[in-house]
Structure formats: structure tokens, C-alpha cells
Amino acid sequence: MHNNPEYLKQLPKRALKTIRMLAKGNGAEKDSIQIKQAGGEVLNCEAITHLELHHEIQSESKKGAHEIGQPLKSPDEITQAIEEASSSALKNDEVRRAMANILLERPDKGFSLHAEYFDIPALNRDYSYVEPCGTCHGEGQMICQRCGGKRREVCTQCHGRTMVPCKFCHGSGMMQSADGKQIQCNRCHGQRQVACPLCQKTGTVQCRQCKGSAKHECTQCGGAAFTTHIAHLIFKIKTLFEFDRTILPPPVVKVFEDAGHKMVSGKHIKLSAEQVKRNDGGLAIQYNAQFPYGDIEFTINGKPLRTHLFGYRGKMLKLPNFLEDLTQRAYQRLEEAAQGTGNTAGLIKKASNKRLIAQALTLSATAPPKQAVIALKKQYPMGISNQTIKELIKLSHKAIQNLTRKNRWSGLALAAGLIGTVNMVYFLPAVRGQLADLLPQENIILVLDLLLIPLGAFAAQFIVSKISTGPVKKALGPLLSDQQRAKFSPKNIAPLWQSALLGLMVFIASLALARYLDLSVPAWLPF
Ligand SMILES: [Zn+2]
Ligand SMILES: [Zn+2]
Ligand SMILES: [Zn+2]
Ligand SMILES: [Zn+2]
């Protein structure tokens, strides 16, 4: 159906529809845009993606003996197995099919993917080798070094002498009787020493390290006895895409290089692909790409607009930035509004009689600049440069700042009065004093005091935004839809730092006034 000439005739009409949609509200209405001429044919081209097999090895070690992947007997055997696996992989038909399928099963079939890597999980292998601990030779235990396996060691108190000096007479053998005479020690009976209480006169005690078991856990392997060395062999495909650049029109070469895969998955190109064996034994995927291509010329308000039609969905390549010409005067007015020297409201109103500018203003009044750029780009994906879109959002932001300057100042003043009043009420003894008494902990009231700052900042931000809504809504003109108008609420109009500063300043001023009036002030006040 895609080669049906009737279908191909639809392509210029599709492009016309796109141009009309972009131009709508931007100074060229439906009937002023027409196709002057369109021609083209279905082109064919061959292309190839070479698949190179790469591999890498990731090593790890685990305590203990484990059977992981293919168990082998030595590190050399692992090296050999990896060598064999990687050199034989490409010779195996199943492997070749698996490799090719990784690309062929993608929506783009790997077309135009140059110098990219793909995993081939089905090919990955693990090898392992179990090595006994060099210290315990795979026992996990070793003979106790302290007792040498004898289970007992020399008594630490008598050092094997079986007797210790008598503590009662300090080894003198004599003691003082009740009437002050020197008599024989009645503990050692004058022997000056007694039997060692620790070893019960045997001279040895149980080994303190092995607790009498003669062995202890190997200090090298911690009892694991073995270490398993694992090698993960990981295969990857590297792609090398080639096509004949000399026979294709330059805009097509560029689109193939930049986004060929998207052209396939987006069905702009009809692609047949098959796995082929190269003469040198390597693996490749051969493509035949088919796509309509031609030149088309529109007239917009009598002026020509030339571009190229590409693919089965009427995509335009190298479309000039015609929207910039159409909206040039409105753009200049926006620039003037951003400078802020003239009648900003009037200039914004005039500038926003072009949908492009009105959208830029609406977006920058309701979203942060980065988001606004993305949203505007989505509405105008072609016919205008990215640079201009960024510029538009920047100018819109400035223009809205100028437009709302007076309202923002009155908003800040109103907010200052309101926050100040709330703060003073809070510091009344009947409020803060009562609150402090009710609270279980003294610190909580300090937290409440400081909460007044962010609370004030948020209130200021809210009031300024609300007060600024009117002029922005009014100036944006008739291009705001009813729906947009209903939920329109400007953000980013009031700089947050201003509101934060206001909250802080009003807080400090309220504190000073409360102190002067002898109200309930925080104890931490330095004045
Ligand atoms: Zn060990
Ligand atoms: Zn021991
Ligand atoms: Zn002893
Ligand atoms: Zn004694």
C-alpha cells in the first residue's frame, strides 16, 4: 500500500497541512498557503551494518567452595576456556543468528546505528575455579599455635612451679599474734608459699585460645577453607554502519547520519534487512531502504517556501525558518516590551496578536524558563530555530517583568502591611505569651517564632502573583483560550528572593516594635 501512487500523492498534502498548522495565527491563514509545485520519486539505497564481536572478562572471588557456571580445575583452564569460547563464537551459526537477531528484533533493525555496543546476554558464560586455602590446605581449621595441639598450656599464675608465694604473710612465713608477738604464718605454716589456686598444683591449665580443642579456625580463610574464583565472560556487539553517501541527496545523507534509526522506527523509511556472511567470515546485516524523496515549493502570502519531502509520512527536511519571517514585526514589539521603555502593556498586546508570541508569553508567565522552552518547542517543532525559541522565552519573561512592575511593588507593600499586622498580633502577650505557657517545651515557641519568616515569604509571593494576574491576562490579548484564561495564574512573576527578603525584614521590624511596646518577645532577643 505504501508504494501505491495515490498514497504518495497524499504526501505533499500532508506537508501542506503541517505548514498551515504551524502558520495558523501567525500571519498566514489557510488559503494564503498553497502548494506551487511538488515532485519526487521513490528512492532505493543499500546499506550495511557490520557486527563485531567484542568480549570482556569480569573477575570476582567468593569465600567457600561454590559451583558457578562451568567448574574448572585451574586458572589456566579458565583462560583457555575463555579463549576458545571467544574465538569459536563467530563460527557458530546459532551465535551468529543470536547476534543478528539482537539488532533485527529492534524496531529500527539496527539501521544507522554506528559505533554502538549491544549486550548479548544469551552468549555470556561464567567459569569458576575452586582454590583451597594456602594456610589450612582446605581444612578450615589449623592446629592451635598457642598450645601446639597439646590442649593445655603452662599455668599463667605459677608459671608451672605449682606453688605461689603466700599472700597472707607476704612470703615471710611469719605473722603477728593478738598480743603483738611474731608467730608462724597459719596459712602457709611457715612454708612461705601455698599451692597454686589456678592450676590446683598441676602446673598447667586449659589452652586459652583453643579452649582445649587443640585446633582453631584458620586465620587466613576464616574457616571458609576454599576460595572460588569466578570469571564472567561478557560478549558485546559493536556496530559499524556504512552506506553510499555519494548517490543520495545531501539532506537524506544528513538525516541518515543523525536519526536514521528513528526514520525506520517512525515508518518514514521502508526497510528490508537480512543477516549476511561477509567474505572474510564476519557478520553483517544488509539493508535495502526505500523512501519517497522530492522537492516541494509552497507559496505563503505570495512568497515562495522551498523544502524537501522525505519518507512515507511527508516529513520535511531542511525546512526554512519561515515562522521567524512571518512573526518578525511581533517579535520586534516583544523586544521593545522587554526593554521596558515604551508602553509595555500596549506592546505586549500588539506582539501577542501572533500565536507564536502569545504562546511564548503565556508559557513564560506560567512555567519556569526551561520548561517554557521545551513546551514551545513541542508546539513549534519546525519552521523556527531553537535559538529563536530560547530568545522568545527570555524576552517574554522580561516583558512580563516590566508589565507587572507597578503591581509587584504594590503587592509587596500590601504584603508588608499584612504580614506586619499578623506578626504584631502574634507577639501580643495574650497570643504568644499564652501559647508559650501551654506548650510542653520551651524550644517549641522558638520554632513557631521563626516560622513567621517563611510564612511571610509565602504570603508575599501569593499576594504579588495574585495582584499581577490582571495586567498579564489583559495584555496577552484575545489569543488566550477561554480554558487558558480560566486557569491562568502567573508563576515566576515575583522573584522568590524578593518575597523571602520581605518576610525576613518585616519579621525583624515586628520584633523590634514588639520589644519597644513591651509585648511578648522571644528570650533570645539581643536587644
Ligand atoms: Zn585456611
Ligand atoms: Zn590451644
Ligand atoms: Zn599454677
Ligand atoms: Zn604464709
Query: How far away, in angstroms, is 195 Cα from ligand 3 center?
Result: 8
Q: Cα(333)–Cα(373) distance, rounded to whole angstroms? A: 20
C-alpha R_g of the chain? 44
Query: How far away, in angstroms, is 205 Cα from ligand 3 center?
Result: 8
Q: Cα(430)–Cα(211) distance, rounded to whole angstroms? A: 74
Per-residue pLDDT of the chain (527 residues; tens, 9 = 90+): 455 677 778 899 999 999 999 999 998 988 999 999 988 889 999 999 999 999 999 999 999 999 999 999 999 999 999 999 888 888 888 888 888 999 999 999 999 999 999 999 888 999 999 999 998 999 999 999 899 999 999 998 999 999 999 988 888 888 888 888 888 988 888 899 999 999 988 999 999 888 999 998 898 888 899 999 999 999 999 999 999 999 999 999 999 999 999 999 999 999 999 998 887 778 999 999 999 999 999 999 999 999 999 999 989 998 999 999 999 999 999 999 999 888 998 999 899 889 999 999 988 888 889 999 999 999 999 999 999 999 999 999 999 989 888 898 999 999 999 999 999 999 998 888 888 888 888 788 888 888 999 999 999 999 998 888 888 888 776 666 677 777 676 776 778 888 999 999 999 999 999 989 988 887 777 76
Query: How far away, in angstroms, is 153 Cα from ligand 3 center?
Result: 10
What pLDDT was estimated at residue 519?
87
437: its cell numbers: 505557657
Query: How far away, in angstroms, is 159 Cα from ligand 4 center?
Result: 19
Q: Are 446 and 520 in contact (CB under 8 A)?
A: no
Number of helices (H), then strands (E), belonging to the chain: the values are 15, 17
What pLDDT was estimated at residue 90?
81
Asked if residue 381 and residue 343 are part of one domain, the reply reads yes
**Residue 272 DSSP code:** E
- Residue 247, classed as helix, strand or coil, is helix
In a domain, 426, yes or no: yes
Which numbered ligand comes closest to the C-alpha of 222? Answer: 1
Strands 117-119 and 226-243: antiparallel
In a domain, 527, yes or no: no
Nearest to 334 by CA among 303, 366, 360, 305: 360
346: its cell numbers: 500596549
Q: Cα(461)–Cα(321) distance, rounded to whole angstroms? A: 39
Asked if residue 334 and residue 313 are part of one domain, the reply reads no
Last residue of a domain, one of 320, 355, 382: 320
Query: How far away, in angstroms, is 166 Cα from ligand 3 center?
Result: 13
Q: Are 359 and 323 in contact (CB under 8 A)?
A: no
Query: How far away, in angstroms, is 204 Cα from ligand 3 center?
Result: 6
Q: Bridge-partner residues for 232, per DSSP?
A: 58, 126
Nearest to 488 by CA among 508, 470, 502: 470
In DSSP notation, 476-501 reads TGGGS-HHHHHT----SSS-HHHHHH
In a domain, 403, yes or no: yes
Query: How far away, in angstroms, is 150 Cα from ligand 3 center?
Result: 17
In a domain, 416, yes or no: yes
Q: Which residues surround ligand 4, an ion (CB under 5 A)?
A: 166, 168-169, 185, 187-188
How many domains are there within the chain?
2
Which numbered ligand comes closest to the C-alpha of 156? Answer: 3
- Residue 204, classed as helix, strand or coil, is strand
411: its cell numbers: 503587592
Q: Are 316 and 310 in contact (CB under 8 A)?
A: yes
Query: How far away, in angstroms, is 172 Cα from ligand 4 center?
Result: 7
Which numbered ligand comes closest to the C-alpha of 164? Answer: 3
- Residue 221, classed as helix, strand or coil, is coil
Which numbered ligand comes closest to the C-alpha of 216? Answer: 2
Query: How far away, in angstroms, is 194 Cα from ligand 3 center?
Result: 10
In single-letter form, the type of residue at position 482 comes to: D
In a domain, 282, yes or no: yes
Q: Rounded to the nearest 10 degrees, how much is the dihedral formed by the CA atoms of 294, 297, 298, 303?
A: 160
Last residue of a domain, one of 269, 296, 320: 320
Query: How far away, in angstroms, is 212 Cα from ligand 2 center?
Result: 6
Which numbered ligand comes closest to the C-alpha of 138? Answer: 1
Asked if residue 494 and residue 348 are part of one domain, the reply reads yes
Q: Would you mind telling me the total number of residues written for the chain in this entry? A: 527
Asked if residue 397 and residue 270 are part of one domain, the reply reads no
In a domain, 428, yes or no: yes
Query: How far away, in angstroms, is 153 Cα from ligand 2 center?
Result: 7
In a domain, 137, yes or no: no
Asked if residue 37 and residue 19 are part of one domain, the reply reads yes
Asked if residue 288 and residue 379 are part of one domain, the reply reads no
Query: How far away, in angstroms, is 202 Cα from ligand 4 center?
Result: 20
Query: How far away, in angstroms, is 19 Cα from ligand 4 center?
Result: 117
Strands 204-206 and 193-195: unpaired
The b-or-e profile of 85-114 (16+ CB within 10 A means b, else e) is bbeebeeeeebbebbbebbeeeebbbbbbe
Query: How far away, in angstroms, is 154 Cα from ligand 2 center?
Result: 11
Asked if residue 505 and residue 376 are part of one domain, the reply reads yes
For cell 515549493, name the residue.
297
What pLDDT was estimated at residue 478?
64
In a domain, 523, yes or no: no
451: its cell numbers: 516560622
Classify residue 292 by burial, with Cβ atoms within 10 Å: 0-12, 13-18, 19+.
Answer: buried
Query: How far away, in angstroms, is 143 Cα from ligand 2 center?
Result: 8
Query: How far away, in angstroms, is 193 Cα from ligand 3 center?
Result: 12
58-63 CB contacts, 8 Å cutoff, 24+ apart: 58/231, 58/232, 58/234, 59/229, 59/230, 59/231, 59/232, 60/229, 60/230, 60/232, 61/227, 61/228, 61/229, 61/230, 62/227, 62/228, 62/230, 63/221, 63/222, 63/224, 63/226, 63/227, 63/228
Query: How far away, in angstroms, is 197 Cα from ligand 3 center?
Result: 7
Helices 496-516 and 442-475, axial angle in degrees (round to 10): 130
Which numbered ligand comes closest to the C-alpha of 205? Answer: 3
Which numbered ligand comes closest to the C-alpha of 223? Answer: 1
Asked if residue 384 and residue 363 are part of one domain, the reply reads yes
Query: How far away, in angstroms, is 188 Cα from ligand 3 center?
Result: 16
Q: Cα(497)–Cα(495) distance, rounded to whole angstroms? A: 6
**Backbone phi, psi, residue 191, to 5°:** -80, -10
Which numbered ligand comes closest to the C-alpha of 149? Answer: 2
Asked if residue 401 and residue 296 are part of one domain, the reply reads no
Which numbered ligand comes closest to the C-alpha of 219? Answer: 1
Asked if residue 351 and residue 296 are part of one domain, the reply reads no
Q: Are 27 and 354 in contact (CB under 8 A)?
A: yes
Containing domain of residue 251, as a range? 5-48+238-320
What pLDDT was estimated at residue 228?
95
Asked if residue 506 and residue 478 are part of one domain, the reply reads yes
What pLDDT was estimated at residue 304?
96
Query: How far away, in angstroms, is 227 Cα from ligand 2 center?
Result: 26
Which numbered ligand comes closest to the C-alpha of 169? Answer: 4
Query: How far away, in angstroms, is 218 Cα from ligand 3 center?
Result: 30
Asked if residue 315 and residue 333 are part of one domain, the reply reads no
> Within 13 Å and on the Cβ side, how many CA atoms surround 434?
6
Supply the pTM of this predicted model.
0.68
Query: How far away, in angstroms, is 171 Cα from ligand 4 center?
Result: 6
Query: How far away, in angstroms, is 74 Cα from ligand 1 center?
Result: 19
Last residue of a domain, one of 299, 320, 341: 320
What pLDDT was estimated at residue 246?
92
